[in-house]
Structure 1
């Protein structure tokens, strides 16, 4: 077997009714995503979520729990992503942290603002994760081992 899913994490960060997203360039297109990325060798899922959030948004966060775990196969490349989505609150903005090179900016949006920009979503998982969170689908970190 030479098929392997890509293990990824995403972090939904809420502050006063707004959520932290990133605008990034993918395949020549400006898209919206949660701070997200791939798990690196010898890293836990939580460590990856903390790292990716800081690298992509300049925000340190406190991860509070899990929104969900899912699979997504990208139509553009056929790659299957195994994504664990966390929810968090912001702790500190760290302007000294340089943004990842493919990130245009980190932005705070209300759910309605994101819904209006759904044509810009990197994948359907972005809005799906937010809607699940808003529907109260929040699970303890103890489910991760």
Structure 2
């Protein structure tokens, strides 16, 4: 086992349409939880490719990222398993596209378009405190250009 500590890198899509946010309900070891379309960065994948993939898998929607809302670091301890994980989350906003008729990822119960107040009202169901923080930052207008993100070709499996 490596003695080097490594946070779990995740991506999330903050998608708003008509003052409603696209959210998912998912089964977790701690019960039904609410989250943005989000998930882990896979090997040989850029952060942008990861958020596009996760959004498609969890919502059946196309997603085109247009900006980075923020980066977030949080430690979570599962009340059920007592496992501690530190997450490094990259939250993106962008344009939602076509919705496809295909099954959602395992564990995803459904998607929901929710107002900010509805999301606040069910804070007890949030997958993590980052759910609300990302939306808050988005509503405050926090945006960074995608050009701040660089993925070296070696990550994508290209020869050096």
Question: Does TM, normalized by the shorter one, top 0.5?
Answer: yes
Q: Distance in 2 between matches of 1:82 and 1:129?
A: 13
Aligned to 1:78: 84
When normalised by structure 2's length, the TM-score is: 0.87
Q: How far is 1:121 from its partner? A: 0.3
Q: Distance in 2 between matches of 1:114 and 1:128?
A: 11
SS of corresponding position for 2:110? strand
**1:37-70, CA deviations, whole angstroms, 9 ceiling, x for partnerless residues?**
0011100000000000000000101211011001
Aligned to 1:63: 65
Aligned to 2:145: 140
For 1:1-145, list aligned pairs within 5 A. 1-76=3-78, 77-95=83-101, 97-145=102-150
Q: How far is 1:28 from its partner? A: 4.4
In the alignment, structure 1 segments of 5+ residues that lack a partner are none
Alignment coverage as a number of residue pairs: 144
When normalised by structure 1's length, the TM-score is: 0.96
Q: Distance in 2 between matches of 1:16 and 1:142?
A: 27
Higher radius of gyration, 1 or 2: 2
In the alignment, structure 2 segments of 5+ residues that lack a partner are 151-160
SS of corresponding position for 1:74? strand
